[in-house]
Structure 1
Amino acid sequence: MNTSSTDSLFSTPLCHQIISKKLDNEDFSVIDFRQTPFGQVKGFLGDHSSLKITIKRNSDLEQHNFFVKSIPTVKSQRDFVLDVNVFFKEKFFFTQFQDLLRQYSITVLDNAIPTCYHTDGNIFVFEDLAQSSYTSISCRTSLDIESVKVALKAIAKLHASAIILEEKKSFRLIDSFSEELAETFYSDKEMVKKAEASYHHGFNALLDLTHDSEMKISKDLLRAKLLEGYRLQHAFVKPSTIFRNTILHGDLWTNNMMFKFEDGKPVNCVIVDFQSHRYGPPGQDVVAFLHLTTNREFRKTHFEDVLQFYYHELDSLLGRFGLGGIISEDEFFASCDFFKQFALTQACTHLQMVSLSEEVAAELLADPAKAQFVLYENKYDFVVAASQKDEIYRGMNFETFAELREFYENEL
């Protein structure tokens, strides 16, 4: 008898299809399935649950576990997801893009992204990485050097896969898939405009909380710079006419990565959530990743070294296909300099939400009216309250905001 602890999105035939793809055979029967929502907030652009399917094969019972992502039930988030079409984008990544990689025998993404067993554009069924000893790292802590390096290896595989595909196929992804690679976060969609307006209020809160008259830049000038800088994000995310482009993840914060540890050391990273991918230079993703997942002290100590590490990984992967040097070291480092303002600005917006404690994030999403107001109307009071009550939230947001302020001060 089929059971579920929610209004299940699944049926016996669909579960049979999922298991058939996983096992690559049809010789089994589905006995039971159960979908259970997660108790923790895994992100703001999808609902997450587990799916357990029990089958009978060769007279034995087997249980298979999966991770499920579906369109959010919280109205404000659902409206955003449907308006910007992020599930359509992720479906492209796990169907058409991966099909092309397989067609051209490009396997560099192996072990860097999860296996997707089913998607119809509204739900995704992935392998349960926890069953393979993968775990997440708190987004409220800075990644250490070992974790950064294994993450950069995975990021390099993503970037290399599209470059190799383009060279083998003699085409540009953006020319064939302009709609699928369309921008998510910095577009002219109505819900994006609302989210941007709310983030601007969050900027104003951080400005009021941190600025004093002794700073090199006046409060009014910094406010104007912040607004101008956010508008420039729309230009930064367009495909470059100077640097080599590839497929980017576009949202590389800690919750979008799963790590496997052996003897306390990270040995592999799997990147998840491809609903915000875009087409641009690798340096954009790398610098954004470092500003979203590490603290300032880490970047002061390791920034140049980890950029060098990433470049070596990317160039080595491309070299296996005779493409070493297709992106020069000078080009890569120049692109990292170019995207520093983009990365700082993105971090100052993203951290307003992604550095929340698990409890506060869950409380926010449990109140649809409050979620609507904070996410798409005005974050000012919310950011002020979180900064006053939460030392970790305050530290992460104030530190990143100070770094962006100093960036503008250095331009004076």
Structure 2
Amino acid sequence: MKKFEGPLVPLSDCYKAISSRLKTPNFEVLTYEQLPFSEINGYLGEHCTLKATIKRTPVPETLSFFIKSPPRVPSQLNFLHEINGIFKETNFFKKYLPLLKTHGITLLDDALPVCYHVTDGTFFFQDLSPLGFRTLPSRAPLSLNHVKAALATFAKLHASALILEEVKSFRLPETFGVELKESFYVGADSTERAMKSCKQGIKALIDITHQDDFGISKDAFKEKALEGCDLQAVFATPSQRFRNTICHGDVWTKNFLFRGVEECCIVDFQTYRYGPPAQDVVAFLYLVTDRGFREKRLGEVLEFYYGELRGHFREYDVGEVVTRQEFFESCDYFKRFALTQTLTHLQVVILRNDIAEELFEESTNSLGMCARGTKFLCKGT
């Protein structure tokens, strides 16, 4: 088996994670090892499976954890720090989720993996793979059933914060300050380089895909697309028009784990922010489905999502916090955001794993290899 090449987890942290999971310190760790994944599941962290053999009865048992550690590549680590990713994810699991529990809101109990221990940016999560959860290929559109399963999970995430605000009669930014602030579109060096490369990739994609029957010239198309990129910073700020909640903010396929076609868990909370639910929902639908799906099913899946959201409001008896009219108006508003974000994200999503590894190992530019990735696509990869 391939050796794990990332940071090694100290035995002391293994004890803490296992103790948290078993709710007892009365055990002995006999052996533990970190096993690498066979494919990339994210670009801003090192991921592996930790298997620990312990003894608390005469018969030893083996426990497994999903480990997420900060990236080894210096430029990627710098990017993660500049977007405040470790701080955000730590506080989501150590501050936000306990607050939900305090107020009896259990919507996320089956929507996220359990986080057993966090230390210095390394997270010990419940390993969902033995339960049958899997990530799906990001290069293929999701099926209708998978889309609905993910939207149902989104509804739990969004409703949890909205219900919490209603129960406490406050708004989350009053308690969660910097954790909820948008951290990508803030003009940091790494994010500026990343966006610059995304724009170069967009221009390259338009160069190779533009056709005369598009109804818009190639140059005008580029101008509109790049203008949309600049407007993403506006779309990503809390709305003055629509009700805000906790949004995930990074809605590509690899951040969802599916069991069959009906169950879904969501992972990776490095970039969550405060915004209307439609910000996540519409961005997700444009990134993980194709045009044919949206032309045929968009209204259906939006109605499905809103039905799930409204069902949670009724379950907790908080009234119609977000009306159907408000939700659909916000969906229309966020379509432009979704379209331009898809152009920036798609350059990474459709890359083959070996190509992505090469591009993201570059130390000169944390995420900014999109134009080079487009060249690979042009070669038929």
TM-score range, shorter chain: over 0.9
Distance in 1 (CA, whole Å) between partners of 2:376 and 2:359 is: 13
Distance in 1 (CA, whole Å) between partners of 2:367 and 2:7 is: 28
Distance in 2 (CA, whole Å) between partners of 1:210 and 1:92 is: 42
Distance in 2 (CA, whole Å) between partners of 1:300 and 1:121 is: 45
8 Å contact from structure 1 (residues 135, 259) kept in 2 = yes
8 Å contact from structure 1 (residues 8, 35) kept in 2 = no
1:180 equivalent in alignment to 2:179: yes
Q: Which has the larger displacement, 218-227 or 195-204?
A: 218-227
Distance in 1 (CA, whole Å) between partners of 2:342 and 2:45 is: 21
8 Å contact from structure 2 (residues 239, 275) kept in 1 = yes
Distance in 1 (CA, whole Å) between partners of 2:242 and 2:222 is: 30
**Any idea what the Cα deviations from partners look like across 1:338-373, whole Å, max 9, x if unmatched?**
0000001101100101111122212333x435xx35
1:54 equivalent in alignment to 2:48: no
Instruction: State the identity %.
Output: 44
User: Which residue in the other structure is 1:400 paired with?
Assistant: none
Structure 1 residues 244 and 389, CA, compared in 2 at 3 Å: closer, same or farther?
A: same
1:384 equivalent in alignment to 2:378: no
1:315 equivalent in alignment to 2:306: no
Distance in 1 (CA, whole Å) between partners of 2:5 and 2:204 is: 39
User: Which residue in the other structure is 2:122 paired with?
Assistant: 123
Residue 355 of structure 1: which of 344, 350, 353 is its match?
350
Distance in 2 (CA, whole Å) between partners of 1:156 and 1:121 is: 31
Q: Report the Cα offset of residue 332 of structure 1.
A: 0.3
Distance in 2 (CA, whole Å) between partners of 1:375 and 1:130 is: 28
Q: Report the Cα offset of residue 214 of structure 1.
A: 4.8
8 Å contact from structure 1 (residues 66, 128) kept in 2 = yes
Q: Which amino acid aligns with 2:299?
A: E
SS at 1:35's partner residue? strand
After TM superposition, the structure 1 = structure 2 runs for residues 185-200 of structure 1, keeping only pairs within 5 Å, are 185-200=184-199
8 Å contact from structure 1 (residues 239, 281) kept in 2 = yes
Q: Which amino acid aligns with 2:268?
A: D
User: Which residue in the other structure is 2:132 paired with?
Assistant: 133
User: Which residue in the other structure is 2:36 paired with?
Assistant: 37
Q: Report the Cα offset of residue 224 of structure 1.
A: 2.0
8 Å contact from structure 1 (residues 316, 324) kept in 2 = no
Q: Which amino acid aligns with 1:191?
A: S
**Any idea what the Cα deviations from partners look like across 1:300-337, whole Å, max 9, x if unmatched?**
11100000000000000011111242211000000000
Q: Report the Cα offset of residue 213 of structure 1.
A: 4.6
Distance in 2 (CA, whole Å) between partners of 1:11 and 1:204 is: 46
8 Å contact from structure 2 (residues 83, 271) kept in 1 = no
User: Which residue in the other structure is 1:252 paired with?
Assistant: 251
Structure 1 residues 336 and 258, CA, compared in 2 at 3 Å: closer, same or farther?
A: same
1:279 equivalent in alignment to 2:278: no
Distance in 1 (CA, whole Å) between partners of 2:196 and 2:5 is: 35
Q: Report the Cα offset of residue 388 of structure 1.
A: 3.2
After TM superposition, the structure 1 = structure 2 runs for residues 12-411 of structure 1, keeping only pairs within 5 Å, are 12-261=11-260, 266-365=261-360, 367-369=361-363, 372-373=364-365, 375-376=367-368, 379-390=370-381
**Any idea what the Cα deviations from partners look like across 1:104-135, whole Å, max 9, x if unmatched?**
11101111011001112411110111011111
Structure 1 residues 374 and 166, CA, compared in 2 at 3 Å: closer, same or farther?
A: closer
Q: Report the Cα offset of residue 96 of structure 1.
A: 0.3
8 Å contact from structure 2 (residues 193, 365) kept in 1 = no
Q: Which has the larger displacement, 305-314 or 38-47?
A: 38-47
Q: Report the Cα offset of residue 196 of structure 1.
A: 0.6
User: Which residue in the other structure is 1:398 paired with?
Assistant: none
5+ unaligned residues in a row in structure 1: which ranges? 391-412
SS at 2:41's partner residue? coil
Structure 1 residues 83 and 62, CA, compared in 2 at 3 Å: closer, same or farther?
A: same
Q: Report the Cα offset of residue 8 of structure 1.
A: 4.9
TM-score by length of 1: 0.88
SS at 1:347's partner residue? helix
Distance in 1 (CA, whole Å) between partners of 2:120 and 2:182 is: 18
Q: Which has the larger displacement, 351-360 or 275-284?
A: 351-360
Aligned residues: 379
Structure 1 residues 214 and 293, CA, compared in 2 at 3 Å: closer, same or farther?
A: closer
Structure 1 residues 95 and 328, CA, compared in 2 at 3 Å: closer, same or farther?
A: same
8 Å contact from structure 1 (residues 31, 55) kept in 2 = yes
Deviant stretches of 4+, over 4 Å? 4-8
5+ unaligned residues in a row in structure 2: which ranges? none
Structure 1 residues 305 and 97, CA, compared in 2 at 3 Å: closer, same or farther?
A: same
